[in-house]
A and B are shown apart, each in its own frame.
Chain A
Amino acid sequence: MSDALSLTKDAKKPHRTSKSGAKANKKKEKGGKVERHNPRAFSVSKIGKTRKTQQRNLDRAQRKEVVPQVDRAEEVPPPVMVVVMGPRGSGKTTLIRSLIKLYTGHNLKESTGPITVVSGKNRRITFQECPDDLCGMVDLAKVADLVLLVVDGSFGFEMETFEFLNILQVHGFPKVMCVLTHLDRFDNVKALRATKKKLKTRFWTEVYNGAKVFGMGGEINGKYPKTEVRNIALYLSRTKFRPLRWRNTHPYVVVDRYEDITYPQKVLEDPTCDREVAVFGYVRGTHLKAGQRVHVIGAGDFGMAEVSALQDPCPLPTKEKVANRSLNKKESQLYAPLANIGSVVIDQDAMYIDIGRANYTRKENLLLEDGAAEAAGGGGGSGSEEEEEDDGDDEYEEGGGGDFDAKDSSRLLRELQDVRSAVDEKMGASELKLFGGRKGGRKGVSGEEASMAAARAAAAAAAEEEEADDGGDGSEEESSEDEDEGEESSGEEESSEESSEEGSDGSSDGGAMSVDEDEGNGVKKRKNIKMPREERVAASPGGSGGGRTRRRALFDDDDVTGRGEDGRDEEDDSDGSMSEDDDDVDENGGVSQAWKSGMATRAAERFLQRKSQNVNLQDLVYGRPGRGGQDNAAKEGEDSASEEEGGDQEQDDDFFTIRGGGNKGSKRRGHSSSGGGDAESEDDDDDEDGGGGVGGGDRSKFYPDREALDDWEGTGDDCAIEAIRNKFVTGDWGSGAGANGAGGGGAGDGDDGDGDDDDSEVYGDFEDLQTGDKFGPGAEDSDDSDDDDDGDEENGMETEREKNARLKAEAMASKDEGEEGDEDEEGGGGGGEKKKRLDANGEEIEDDDEFLREATKRREDQQTRNRKEFEDMGDAAQLRIRGFPQGRYVRIRFKALPAEFVTNFRPENPVIVGGLMAAEEGLAMVRTRAKRHRWHGKTLKSNDPLVVSAGWRRFQTQPVFATEDPNERQRYLKYTPEHMHCFCYFYGPIIPQNTGIMAFQSMGNTATGFRVALTGTALELDAKFEVVKKLKLVGYPDKIFKKTAFIKGMFNSDLECWSGSTSLRLGGSSCSVILTPCYVG
Chain B
Amino acid sequence: MNRLFTAEIVRNDPMDNGYFALQVTPDVEISEPDIGQFFMIKTGESIDPLLLRPFSFVDFIPPNDKYPNGSLMFLIGAVGKGTNILKHLAVGMRLSVIGPLGQGFPPVASDEILFIVAGGIGIASVLGLTNVNPNTPFFYGVRTKELIPDMVWFNYTGINTFTTSDDGSIGFAGSVLELLEKQVSEFKRGCGGKIKIYACGPNGMYRAMAGMNLDADVYVSLETPMACGIGTCLGCAVDTVNGLKMVCKDGPVFNLKDIIWDG
A binds B: no
